[in-house]
Amino acid sequence: MRKIILISIILLIPLFLFSQTTTKNKKSKKYFEEAVLAFTLGDTSRAIEYCDKSIEKDQRYTEPYVLKAQILFQNRYIDKAVILLKKVLEIDANHVQIYFILGYYLFNSEDYIESKKYFIEYQQRESDKKNIAEAQKYLKIINFRLKALENPVQFKPVKFSSNINTTAKEYFPTISADNSSIVFTRLIGKTGNERQEDIYISYINGTTIEPAVIVSPLINTQNNEGAHTLSADGKTMIFTRCVPNGSCDLFIAKKDERGNWLIPEKLPSSVNSRYWDTQPSLAADGKTLYFTSNRPGGKGKMDIWVTKYLGNDNWTKPQNLGDSINSPENEMSPFIHFDSKTLYFTSDYYPGMGKFDLFYSKKINDSTWSGAVNLGYPINTSENEYRLVVDAWGDKAYFSSERDTVFQQDIYYFDFPEKLRPIRTLLVRANIFSSVNLKQIKADIITIIDLNTYDTVFFAETEKQFTVCLPYQGEYALNILKSGYMFYSQNFTLDNLADTVRYYDLSIYLKPIVEGEKINLKNTFFETDSYNINPKSYVELNKLVDFLKLNLNVQIQVAGHTDNIGSSDYNLKLSKNRAESIRNYLIDKEIQPNRISSIGYGYTKPIADNQTEEGRKLNRRTEIIILKK
């Protein structure tokens, strides 16, 4: 009988055992045994009745108090359960384990100050280090919650209308980069006791939220589809599909030129495993994918992993994000913001306000993240908070929560507190045209490189237009390749833009390869008064290598130019050496030497006035001249 009660208690309080007082009153003991039997059979009303009879026969017999308190706690009558356990301590102040249970019960009723007192008392009385560590875990959470309650973050959530939220469960929201639509998962009824998850979309027109509709009959099937992510341009969706009594895998769907979703394809085995692979989040670069998995090699139960797209439907082997984010428990629902540096996720391990709390971490470098930071109270509550996403501009957040109704998830939005915001990003929208007939054409490869970090912040293939989110500050190199067309290179900065600017539009005109045509390498730089190539130039020069490998018959000349500061001989020699340095770089990258010549012109061919610094900067340039196409 004692074992049965202990098992029941352990279900609520892991790693916990307690001693008990005995009674010499045979009727009291008999009634308690009847209470235990009724409890094990699930008849809690009768169990309480027998507990009361046992207490009536011997009011100093503590076990009926403990069992009755257990039943009351399970039925959410926590205040009454606490009164009973305090009575136990009046009878026997050395009943050490009751201090723990009281702390636990008060913790669940969110009376953190009282709970803290009992956990501290338990630590002082308990000798088992394992049990003390369990109490310390709760004390750590209590201290966090008390501090969070004293320092609430700005938070006024607004629940979406019935156009999104219904009597069904709605969760896992995704906001498009341009804030024109919100995509989410809905758990709807089905035949019998089965449930069906599908992906829905609601379009946003100004302040109007349109009624949600299924995203596509090609994406939603008789299986469960949900937990999705959109590319910045809205043309690619990666989502989760789960087979009944099976595992979950990641699928990718793309839109055709008319904006209709095509038949999804399962991501390759380099990404999907025979375990659960779910909850994807695609970075703004279009090639870095974060997701949740319980595959072997992780830090805990569910971990967050990352993989990168290599082109031609190939992805890298997923890497675990490591100890800064993943724990021995569950980390889930990752959302990498459009700044590609701020990751929001849920966890039930780190000190928080409830079951699953929302956290964020900042990317330090390609393999390192800062420690998890709780978003605070009242964003996080005693209930579950799930997937949170933040819009491209960083000032509005969307998430799903059970805060209003237990077991009923709905989607909310709110103004995101300043201190929690990611880097504000700008939506860069570009269209690619032929310079001959001014019609849109598809480029083979499009890349944007951050010239401060040399990271590829955007990558796309076979596109005639693209949308990308870039941080407001920074210098970027845009490179475009298309077979039969000149190599396109442009350098642009997004510094000092007003906060009200949210879009940056580009029209790009590609020129067909023509003999005698020139390409100005706008992202190729040299050290001052030197022909040593600045490492910032490697990004563009590597794209020139790709251009020459894409167009195998093309022969070029590298021409160096300077401003007029210094003597004629000095500048002529400097320009020749710089042109030769680039030629040697291309040869080192396996371009045949007979396809490349070099020449220096010094300051004899200016394209701007050398009387101003701006003009001299334009004259200090490197050009590629097509000798043969």
Same domain (yes/no): 259, 273: yes
Amino acid identity of 59? Q
Residue 338 phi/psi, 5-degree rounding, is -65, -15
Choosing from 510, 532, 563, the residue where a domain stops is 510
Choosing from 510, 542, 574, the residue where a domain stops is 510
Report the distance separating Cα 589 and Cα 454, nearest Å.
19
> If you write DSSP's letter for every residue of 279-346 in order, what string do you get?
EEEE-TTSSEEEEEE--TTSSSSBEEEEEEEEETTEEPPPEE--TTT--SSBEEEEEE-TTSSEEEEE
Contact, 214 vs 220, CB < 8 A? yes
CATH of the domain at 472: 2.60.40.10
At 472-529, the pLDDT tens digits run 878 888 989 999 998 888 888 887 777 777 888 889 999 999 999 998 888 888 988 8
Residue 605's pLDDT is what?
Answer: 93
Beta bridge partners of 629: none
Residue 231's pLDDT is what?
Answer: 93
Same domain (yes/no): 400, 446: no
Report the distance separating Cα 488 and Cα 546, nearest Å.
12
Residue 192's pLDDT is what?
Answer: 55
The greatest distance separating any two alpha carbons of the chain, rounded to the nearest whole angstrom, comes to 115
At 47, list the tokens.
Answer: 């169990």
Do the strands 408-415 and 331-336 form a parallel or antiparallel pair, or are they unpaired?
unpaired
Contact, 108 vs 119, CB < 8 A? no
Amino acid identity of 301? K
Choosing from 493, 510, 527, the residue where a domain stops is 510
Residues 6+ apart with CB under 8 A from 602: 561, 562, 568, 571, 572, 574, 575
For range 333-337, the mean pLDDT: 96
Bigger pLDDT: 250 or 525? Answer: 250
Same domain (yes/no): 125, 141: yes
Number of domains comprising the chain? 4
Handedness of CA 515, 520, 521, 525 (dihedral sign): positive
Report the distance separating Cα 107 and Cα 115, nearest Å.
5
Same domain (yes/no): 338, 291: yes
Do the strands 195-205 and 181-189 form a parallel or antiparallel pair, or are they unpaired?
antiparallel
Tell me the CA distances in angstroms from 32 to 20, 26, 57, 594, one per residue in order.
13, 10, 10, 98
Same domain (yes/no): 614, 542: yes
Same domain (yes/no): 395, 437: no
Place of tokens 């709807």: 188
Handedness of CA 539, 540, 545, 551 (dihedral sign): positive
Contact, 393 vs 399, CB < 8 A? no
Same domain (yes/no): 183, 104: no
Residues 6+ apart with CB under 8 A from 612: none
Give the model's confidence band at 10: pLDDT under 50 very low, under 70 low, under 90 confident, else very high. very low
Neighbours of 373 (CB within 10 A): 14
Same domain (yes/no): 408, 431: no
At 546, list the tokens.
Answer: 């790709």
Contact, 413 vs 157, CB < 8 A? yes
Of 198, 196, 247, residue with least CA distance to 218: 198
Based on DSSP, count helices (H) and strands (E) in the chain, helices before strands.
Answer: 11, 34
Give the model's confidence band at 255: pLDDT under 50 very low, under 70 low, under 90 confident, else very high. very high
At 110-150, the pLDDT tens digits run 999 999 999 999 999 998 898 899 999 999 999 999 999 99
Strand, coil or helix: 231:
coil
CATH of the domain at 563: 3.30.1330.60
Of 477, 508, 471, 474, residue with least CA distance to 491: 477
Tell me the CA distances in angstroms from 126 to 11, 67, 532, one per residue in order.
21, 22, 70
At 522, list the tokens.
Answer: 């706008």
Beta bridge partners of 623: 520, 559
At 416, list the tokens.
Answer: 């995101």
The enclosing H or E element of 615 equals helix 613-619
Report the distance separating Cα 177 and Cα 166, nearest Å.
25
Contact, 63 vs 92, CB < 8 A? no
Same domain (yes/no): 230, 296: yes
Structural domain boundaries, residue 128: 2-150
The winner for highest mean pLDDT among 316-320, 450-454, 547-551 is 316-320
Same domain (yes/no): 471, 338: no
Neighbours of 234 (CB within 10 A): 16
Beta bridge partners of 469: 427
Residue 104's pLDDT is what?
Answer: 94
Same domain (yes/no): 108, 250: no
Tell me the CA distances in angstroms from 455 to 398, 552, 623, one per residue in order.
28, 28, 25
Place of tokens 């723990």: 100
Summary mean pLDDT of the chain: 90
Half-sphere exposure of 470 (CA within 13 A, CB side): 32
Residue 191's pLDDT is what?
Answer: 52
Percent of the chain topping pLDDT 90: 69
The enclosing H or E element of 499 equals none
CATH of the domain at 122: 1.25.40.10
Residue 193's pLDDT is what?
Answer: 59
At 604, list the tokens.
Answer: 């004899």
Report the distance separating Cα 27 and Cα 484, nearest Å.
98
Same domain (yes/no): 493, 536: no
At 5, list the tokens.
Answer: 């009660």
